[in-house]
């Protein structure tokens, strides 16, 4: 089958042929219909301590049709069903004491598209039957491929211990920041303000429900906190969600949040960073790091999408086939008007 292959840091992805997968007893093989490019894929293909192994096939935001069903999964799914799946395969017989609600923290899990199992930058991908979710009739394949990043944003909001009426500041309007903003509003925040450098992404933040945006550029005519106060009437936010993932952002979030406020770190920074603990100590700031999601987050996202309570189709700004995919992937290292770029193998 055709796939996009990582050949090493500093090299573009190559399009080549690899063996098609066969399902294990408790597995399915999906014909990939859509797969999004994640920021973590970009980070993992750069030089650093978390660089993926050569010959990795990435892709962990995907949807597709069931193409093959493992022997023990027959009756659970049939060929042709429209599905998405958590990008992790977990053995069906869990050792005692392991909680399936936290898939990324289990020592027996095998991630898909992150250097262990081949991902969905390919025509077909192998998934676990217990991690597979049917797409409701109203949910398209592209929406199905957005469930993974949307679930990350929902999980970040859940981990924020947000209370009704809170003021929330989201740093960064990439797909995860946009998802966090959308769910913070739907979970009862009084104000959800998104700080972002680009006009295009600030407009996207407003389109998913942000009550206001602030310009994070040096030329904005005022710092982020001043703009936040002017637009909300609150001097400092109750919750800051850091969704950028570069050095210095955690400290910035601590500086911006109010005393005894909460900082949620969902941006994936793969470099060493420094911060001033005394700043957080003097304000008694709670700092929560976030990893992935729980299966119930996927169910919630699918429910929102199926019921029309979350409009996200416009977040897919670019669609490419295999021939244009390597160039589209590299272009995201210095993004302009892109938000979510989708590989469409068909």
Question: Any idea what the CATH number is for the domain that residue 206 is in?
Answer: 3.40.50.720
- Say what the pLDDT of residue 91 is: 87
Same domain? For 39 and 156 the reply is no
- 145 in a domain, yes or no? no
- 294 in a domain, yes or no? no
Distance between CA 196 and CA 46 in Å, rounded? 24
Mean pLDDT of successive 10-residue segments in the chain (346 residues)? Answer: 96 97 97 97 91 97 98 96 97 67 84 96 97 97 98 97 96 96 96 95 96 86 87 97 96 97 95 94 97 95 96 95 98 91 96
- 50 in a domain, yes or no? yes
- Say what the pLDDT of residue 163 is: 93
Same domain? For 155 and 217 the reply is yes
- Say what the pLDDT of residue 222 is: 65
Same domain? For 167 and 59 the reply is no
How many residues in total does the chain contain?
A: 346
Give the count of domains, the chain.
Answer: 2
Distance between CA 20 and CA 30 in Å, rounded? 11
- Say what the pLDDT of residue 220 is: 62
Same domain? For 234 and 125 the reply is no
- 143 in a domain, yes or no? no
Same domain? For 23 and 99 the reply is yes
* pTM over 0.85, yes/no: yes
Q: What residue numbers bound the domain in which 259 lies?
A: 151-289
Distance between CA 241 and CA 231 in Å, rounded? 18
Backbone angles phi, psi at 21, to 5 degrees: -80, 155
- Say what the pLDDT of residue 105 is: 85
- Say what the pLDDT of residue 126 is: 98
């Amino acid at each position: 089958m055709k796939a996009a292959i990582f050949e090493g840091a500093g090299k573009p992805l190559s399009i080549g042929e690899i063996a098609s997968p066969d399902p294990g007893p408790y597995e399915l093989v999906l014909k990939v219909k859509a797969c999004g490019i994640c920021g973590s894929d970009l980070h993992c293909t750069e030089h650093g301590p978390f660089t993926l192994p050569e010959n990795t096939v990435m892709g962990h935001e995907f949807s597709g049709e069931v193409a093959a069903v493992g022997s023990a999964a027959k009756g659970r799914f049939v060929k042709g069903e429209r599905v998405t799946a958590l990008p992790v395969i977990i053995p069906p017989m869990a050792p005692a004491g392991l909680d399936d609600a936290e898939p990324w923290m289990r020592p027996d899990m095998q991630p898909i598209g992150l250097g262990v199992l081949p991902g969905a930058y390919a025509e077909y991908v192998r998934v676990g039957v217990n991690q597979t979710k049917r797409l409701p009739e109203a949910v398209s394949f592209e929406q199905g491929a957005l469930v993974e990043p949307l679930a990350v944003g929902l999980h970040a909001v859940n981990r924020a211990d947000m209370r009704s009426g809170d003021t929330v500041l989201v740093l960064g309007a990439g797909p995860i920041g946009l998802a966090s903003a959308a769910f913070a509003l739907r979970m009862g925040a009084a104000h959800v303000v998104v700080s972002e450098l680009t006009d295009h992404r600030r407009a996207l933040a407003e389109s998913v429900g942000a009550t206001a945006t602030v310009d994070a550029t040096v030329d904005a005519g005022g710092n982020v906190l001043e703009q936040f106060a002017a637009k909300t009437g609150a001097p400092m936010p109750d919750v800051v969600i850091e969704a950028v993932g570069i050095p210095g952002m955690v400290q910035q979030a601590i500086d911006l949040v109010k005393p005894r406020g909460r900082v949620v770190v969902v941006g994936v920074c793969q470099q060493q960073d420094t911060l001033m603990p005394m700043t957080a100590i003097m304000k008694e700031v709670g700092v929560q790091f976030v990893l992935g999601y729980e299966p119930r987050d996927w169910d919630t996202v699918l429910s929102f999408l199926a019921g029309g309570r979350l409009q996200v189709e416009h977040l897919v700004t670019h669609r490419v086939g295999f021939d244009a995919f390597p160039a589209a992937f590299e272009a995201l290292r210095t993004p302009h008007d892109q938000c979510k770029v989708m590989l469409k193998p068909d």
